[in-house]
Amino acid sequence: MLNFPARPRSLSWTAVIATSLLLFLWLGYWYLDTFSSIVNLWDTSDTYAHGYAVLPIALWLVWSERKELSKHSPEPSYLLTFLAIPLVFLWLLGELAAVNAVTQPAVGLMVIVTIVSLIGLPLAKKLAFPLFFLLFAIPFGEFMMPKLMNWTADFTVLALRVSGIPVYREGLQFVIPSGNWSVVEACSGIRYIIASLMVGTLFAYLNFTSTKRRLLFMLAALLVPIVANWLRAYLIVMLGHLSGNKLAAGVDHLIYGWVFFGLVIGALFAVSMRWAEARPITTETDISNDSTPRPQQSLVLAKTATLLAAFVVTGPLIYRQFTVNADTLPTRTLQFSISEFPALKAKAFEFKPDWQNPTAEGNVQVDFEGVPLGLYIAQYKNQSPQRKLISSTNMLATYQNSDWRITSQSSGEIAVGNTTVPVQIANLTQQTSGNPLQLMAIYWYLIGNEATASPVKGKLLTARNQLLGQGDHGAVVALYTPMDPIALERLTRFVAANAENIKKMANASGQQ
């Protein structure tokens, strides 16, 4: 039970709750697109479907303490409302750079700051866990997916080799005598990890009282599903291998994954109950009587609500000065000009990088030094969550690409005259039987006139340019050529010979 110091009943909970609801409606109106993006992820992604349960659980945690809460009065603090200012600025930066991973936490924290400002810091400290638990409603963890997929592939391949099964690995794909396997997004285990962390955090709060035990259990709830997912992936491959690939596919794969996860988490909870601690029960002697006079709290509540309403509206009002709605405009076709290297009449191979919904794009193959070489440019302007240059779904070949897969990727630099251009270097393999074609590709972003291969730096440059009134125009430049010992040198020579021309084309207007 919670242990609250008693306060004079100078302000009713009814007034605070009514004010809170009005402010939540105010937030919902001005940040509707951001809240909608959160709910959309709950709807469309199994990884974040738990988001629907977060608010009811948080409300239940508060409701379970209603008798104790009813004995005390909220103490709104207008000074706490100033915490909303950096959150509004953070949201603005995220919106200008079209980064949901920034805007969504920002609005989530605005909700928490609103609650804390209206009830006061003493009560907020006592309700710290329900307020913290609200953060699980915010989608997070997608950035971990590539690393988790690599870890799963590393463990599965190692375990198979230890089991005496020969394995040939190429990136996230590997071949064993009984067939081909691939580590896809679902194999990352991110949905298990997030679900386990949320449920484990709630379990730790309800069953432990010491901070040390709670943190240790939360750490276990994070690490155990990671290791369990590795074992799950290995066992699925083994099940398929030993059954002649008749099992571990389709519904068997799904049930095997969730049943295995449920058993592992259930075992973790059962073992941890051995160290469960009883929560202290509040008695009358635990409640102090403080009769210190308080200022007129209704006026403080009004001032607090007014400041919150004024602060949170500034971000959207500023953002409106930068935006032009271009989400629904069709993609234009860029007209390339590489006169000294004429385009091939018929493409040597079919490949186009997977950048989604650009403002304009072009993809051409030329004969360079007697070898086919492809140039792809995609432009983005008036960016939004539906149309943005830098995104986790924009890459040379997505995991859903049935024709091509990335087998390796690393950062590097290429020399262009007296300068260097940072690039991402990748190897791609055509997903066909027999003798598949292999490509080497490089790509980088042009934000205004600045080149970078870093998604984070690209986002920061976009936000900076927006704030400076230079717009959010950006482009990705990708080149690709058949794999051979001098493929990277060939791509470098092409860039060096066409650097200015490429920059002009990346900033040129397309044609309908």
Mean pLDDT of 110-127: 93
Identify the band that residue 131 occupies on the pLDDT scale cut at 50, 70 and 90.
very high
pLDDT at 346: 73
Neighbouring residues of 229: CB distance < 8 A, sequence distance ≥ 6: 148, 152, 187, 188, 189, 192, 193, 261
For the cut 60, the answer to whether the pLDDT of residue 128 exceeds it is yes
pLDDT at 30: 95
For the cut 90, the answer to whether the pLDDT of residue 244 exceeds it is no
Q: Say which DSSP state 331 is in.
A: P
pLDDT at 315: 92
Residue with tokens 């976009």: 462
pLDDT at 137: 94
**Three-state SS at 8:** coil
For the cut 90, the answer to whether the pLDDT of residue 326 exceeds it is no
For the cut 50, the answer to whether the pLDDT of residue 471 exceeds it is yes
Range 225-236 burial, b when 16+ CB lie within 10 A, else e = bbebbbebbbbb
Helix orientation angle between 84-96 and 297-319, rounded to the nearest 10 degrees: 20
For the cut 80, the answer to whether the pLDDT of residue 407 exceeds it is yes
Cα–Cα distance for residue pair 29/24, rounded to 1 Å: 9
Q: CB–CB of 36/318 below 8 Å?
A: no
Helix and strand numbers, DSSP H then E, in the chain: 15, 11
pLDDT at 253: 53
pLDDT at 10: 58
For the cut 90, the answer to whether the pLDDT of residue 392 exceeds it is no
Mean pLDDT of 460-476: 88
Measured CA to CA in angstroms, residue 449 lies from 139, 391, 446 at distances of 33, 20, 6
Q: pLDDT tens across 169-227, in order?
A: 877 888 888 888 888 777 788 888 898 899 999 999 999 888 888 899 999 999 998 99
For the cut 70, the answer to whether the pLDDT of residue 323 exceeds it is no
Q: pLDDT tens across 261-315, in order?
A: 778 888 888 888 888 776 665 554 444 444 444 557 788 899 999 999 999 999 9
Can you give the residue ranges of every domain in the chain?
A: 13-140+296-319, 143-275, 332-507
pLDDT at 449: 83
Share of the chain above pLDDT 90, in %: 41
Which residue type is seen at 240?
Answer: G
Q: pLDDT tens across 1-56, in order?
A: 455 444 444 578 888 999 999 999 999 999 999 999 999 989 988 889 889 999 99
Residue 425 main-chain phi, psi, to 5 deg: -115, 130
Query: Across all residues in the chain, what is the average pLDDT?
Result: 84
Q: Is the pLDDT higher at 251 or at 497?
A: 497
Q: Say which DSSP state 245 is in.
A: S
Q: CA-based diameter of the chain, in Å?
A: 90
Q: What is the C-alpha radius of gyration for the chain, rounded to an integer number of angstroms?
A: 28
Strands 360-368, 332-333: pairing kind: parallel
**Three-state SS at 283:** coil
